[in-house]
Amino acid sequence: MQRYTQFLIVALVCGLDQYTKHLVVRHIPYLGEIRVTSFFSVVHGRNYGGIFGFLSQHEAARYIFLIFPLLIVLFLLYYVFLAKAAASRRTALAFVLGGAIGNVYDRLTQGYVTDFLDFYYGAYHWPAFNVADISINLGICLWLWMEFLRTGKETIITSG
């Protein structure tokens, strides 16, 4: 039953990610913007590089940020669905896997990732991101939190 939970997380994240990107591409012209508040806009951006657009102008970026994430997806597929690991750890990494699949799919089909959530203060903008990015970060934070709690329990047990 636990494996179904992880599969459901991956499917929901991928579905929500692709649906929101589809809405942005369909309703906002490339480089267009819809201001929502004084600090948040929905934009239509394209990321050809890695996190925060890292190496986006470099020719090798297309291959680096396709091959490396594909390897991560393959590892996570094994770990989440086949490895004998704690259900909580597999669940956290299912969020990472769902987001990674969403972004890899974009790179495979379009050559870039569509980003659309733009937070800013005056002229200072945080790099735009998407639902897949949120899921990847959420999964990593959950995983780190569980590791922190596990390490804390081990420290208390061994030192007390």
Active site residues: 115, 133
Beta bridge partners of 45: 115
Element (H, E) at 44: strand 40-47
Residue pointed to by tokens 């329990």: 153
The distance between the two most distant Cα atoms of the chain, rounded to a whole number of Å, is 61
Short-list 123, 121, 127, 125, CA closest to 39: 121
Nearest to 20 by CA among 44, 39, 56: 44
CA distances, 55 to each of 47, 49, 63, 66, 147 (Å): 10, 5, 11, 13, 31
Distance of CA 44 to the CA centre of its chain: 17
| Rounded CA separation 35/43 (Å) | 8
